Structure 1
Amino acid sequence: MPITATAGAKLYIGGVLAMKSDDFVLTDFDSATWVEIKDLDSLGSLGDSANEITQDLIGENRTKRLKGTRNAPPMEVIAAINYEDTGQQALVAAEKTKDDYAFKLVFDDAPSGGTPSERYFIAKVASANEAYDTANTVMKLNASLWVNSNVVRVDAAEP
Structure 2
Amino acid sequence: MTIYATNGAKLFIGGVLASKSTDFVEADFTAQSWVEIGEVEALGSVGDTSTEITFDSITANRTRRLKGTRNAGAMEVVAGIDYGDAGQIALLAAEKTIHDYAFKLELNDAPEGGTPSERYFIAKVGTAVEALETANNVMKLNATLWVNSNVVKVDAAPGI
TM-score range for the pair, normalised by the shorter chain length: over 0.9
Partner of 2:58 in structure 1? Answer: 58
Counterpart-to-counterpart distance in 2, 1:86 and 1:4: 28
Superposition TM-score, scaled by structure 1 size: 0.99
Q: How many residues align structurally? A: 159
Counterpart-to-counterpart distance in 1, 2:111 and 2:74: 30
Structure 1 residue 72 displacement after superposition: 1.8
Identity %: 68
Offset from partner CA, 1:55-104 (integer Å, 9 cap, x none): 00011100000000001221000000000000000000000000000000
Q: Which one-letter code corresponds to 1:67 in the other structure?
A: K
> What pairs with 1:98-117 in structure 2 (closer than 5 Å)?
98-117=98-117
Counterpart-to-counterpart distance in 1, 2:72 and 2:152: 13
- 2:35 maps to 1:16: no
Offset from partner CA, 1:14-43 (integer Å, 9 cap, x none): 000000000000000010000000000100
Q: Which one-letter code corresponds to 2:5 in the other structure?
A: A
Superposition TM-score, scaled by structure 2 size: 0.98
Q: Which sections of structure 2, spanning at least 5 residues, go unmatched? A: none
Q: Which one-letter code corresponds to 2:82 in the other structure?
A: N
- 2:120 maps to 1:120: yes
Q: Which one-letter code corresponds to 2:106 in the other structure?
A: V
CA contact (8 A) 2:72 2:151 kept: no
Partner of 2:35 in structure 1? Answer: 35
CA RMSD of aligned residues (A): 0.6
Q: Which sections of structure 1, spanning at least 5 residues, go unmatched? A: none
Stretches (4+) displaced over 3 A? none
